[in-house]
Amino acid sequence: MQMTISEFNELVLLRFTQELTDRVFLMIQEDRELMQLYLDAVGEHGKQAVNSHLAKAIGERFGASGQDQWPAAPKTLLIKGFKALGPGGTTSSD
C-alpha cells in the first residue's frame, strides 16, 4: 500500500519530533548548568509539568504533531516515553 505525501510527511515529522525531544532531554542531562536548572524547575513545578511544557514547546517550535503513543524508548533518563498532544505539539511522559 502506498502512502500519500501527507501521510509520508506526518511519519517523517513524527519520527523527527521524537528524536528531537529525546536529544533535547539528553542535552539537559549532559549539561551541568541545564541539569541544575531542570532540577530546580522540577523541584518547584514537578517533573510531569516541566517535561510536558518543554516537550510541547519543542513540538510547537517545529510544528510537529504525532500519534497517541510512540513505541521507542527515549535514550535520556529524564523521561520514560513520549505521548502526543495532537496537532502542533508533543508531550513527554515523566
6-22 pLDDT, tens digit per residue, is 999 988 888 887 788 88
Domain count across the chain: 1
As given in the structure block, the three cell numbers for residue 53 are 511544557
Domain range holding 76? 5-93
pLDDT at 83: 59
Q: Phi and psi (nearest 5°) for 91? A: -135, 150
Position with higher pLDDT, 55 vs 91: 55
46-76 pLDDT, tens digit per residue, is 999 999 999 889 878 876 554 444 556 777 8
pLDDT at 94: 53
Taking residues 32-46, report their average pLDDT. Answer: 98
Instruction: Look at residues 74, 39, 30 and name the one whose alpha carbon lies nearest to residue 17.
Output: 74
